[in-house]
Amino acid sequence: MEGFKALGLSYKNAPIEVREKVAFTEVEASQFLTKLKETFLIEEAVLISTCNRTELYYTAQDNLEPEIIGLIAAHKALPSDQLTEYFNLYDSSSASKHLFRVSLGLESQVLGDIQISNQVKRAYQQSADLNLAGPHLHRLMHTIFFANKRVVQETSLQDGTASIASVAVDLIKGFVGNIENPRIALIGLGEIGQNVLENLNKEEAAITLVNRTKSTAEKLANERNIAVCDMTDLSKVVLENDVIITAVTTSAPIISAADFDSKLVHKLMIDLSVPRSMDADLESVPGLSLYNVDQLTERTLKARELREQAIPEVSKIIEEELTGFISWKSEMGVSPTIQRLKNALDQIRKEELSRHKKLSEKEMELLEVVTKSMIQKVIKLPVLQLKAACKRGEAETLVGVLNDLFNLDSAEVEKK
């Protein structure tokens, strides 16, 4: 894994104001990776950018962290000195393990978040499309995907619903199941609001976005082909939609029982704001179901506890699969030596056969078969020993011994 590195920031060390500035859309990510490849001649790279993290994994012999952070800053038209403090750096010994943990949901804000796996897959596919996925990255990603299958099958890391946003969407699914052409209004598009929107993506419903900064709503709406309304039309939005979710910062409720007439209504109201943005008097409105953050949080606690119990099992799976990947990488490192050894022995075999020119064609054919079989048996033990040495971290010593015994380096030079 020498040369494989990573850098990035996440919700753990960067506020949302910073994460927003360095977040990449799919198109922007493609442009940035292309620029990265052209600027630094990097052959492998994958960029993972979500609302909670932006991380770049790449293969290079040199440490390019300052230059890459500078390139990110330039791409986003930001001063690089404002970003550097938020970036974590991972060297070759930790980058692969960190990518495992991110992809499997151990580093997610919602422990075991199932969305991150799909986000990583899309990022990997983008790298492959840009010819930025070489043998190392291909093998690493497929090992991670296999580990994810094991996590799903062998642990409870992804069981239950463990985020406020996903609990809210579960409630919505249950509520709109029997409504023809349901209408959903999402008011407030900060981090929580955007998480809800992301969870709502697959719902068959007409969605309307309302936000104090209308340009934010319009940008998100354009990406998803959904409607936008002004905050001044809030009363109309509340009356026209079957589900209303609020995730705004406010000192006083923005929706109350006064927004409804005395008729029976059939609506689901979900208040994700702290302080609350929906007045408690809404509970008096006939046919209206009201949920606040505390009520939704109760639903997540048990799932969170269950997922936390799975962390040791998931960590064990990561260690097992990472060990297998490291062994493969080490074996790839000794493959040239194995090939040179095979070539050296085959050259000796051919030279010996060339001395016996009086043999008939049939005899030569028989000798070809016999001597090739002998070479295969002779080389079997050194190959097995090399692979075992890889697992022990001692391959370099054995490679040196084989090079000295069979003069492999000079043999390779002579062959060229």
Known catalytic residues are: 51
Q: Contact 277/304 with Cβ under 8 angstroms? A: no
- Answer positive or negative: Cα dihedral of 11, 325, 142, 41: positive
Give the integer Cα–Cα distance in Å for 250 and 188.
10
Number of C-alpha atoms within 13 angstroms, CB side, residue 12? Answer: 13
Closest CA to 33 of 118, 137, 104, 109: 137
Q: Contact 67/36 with Cβ under 8 angstroms? A: no
Torsion angle in degrees (nearest 10) through CA of 194, 195, 201, 205: -70
- Cβ contacts of residue 40 below 8 Å, gap of 6+? 60, 64, 67, 68
Q: Residue 43 carries which DSSP code? A: S
Q: Residue 91 carries which DSSP code? A: -
Give the integer Cα–Cα distance in Å for 68 and 74.
10
Kindly tell me the burial class for residue 57, based on how many C-beta atoms sit within 10 Å of its own C-beta (0-12, 13-18, 19 or more): buried
Give the integer Cα–Cα distance in Å for 244 and 211.
13
For the chain, state the CA radius of gyration: 30
Q: Give yes or no for a cis peptide into 79 (omega within 30° of 0).
A: no
Give the integer Cα–Cα distance in Å for 68 and 6.
10
Give the integer Cα–Cα distance in Å for 338 and 372.
16
Quote the tokens at residue 112. 């075991």
45 forms bridges with which residues in the sheet?
Answer: 58
Give the integer Cα–Cα distance in Å for 46 and 125.
9
Query: What is the DSSP annotation of 190-205?
Result: SHHHHHHHHHHTT--S
Q: Contact 114/158 with Cβ under 8 angstroms? A: yes
- How many Cβ atoms are within 10 Å of 213's Cβ, its own excluded? 10
Give the integer Cα–Cα distance in Å for 307 and 160.
8
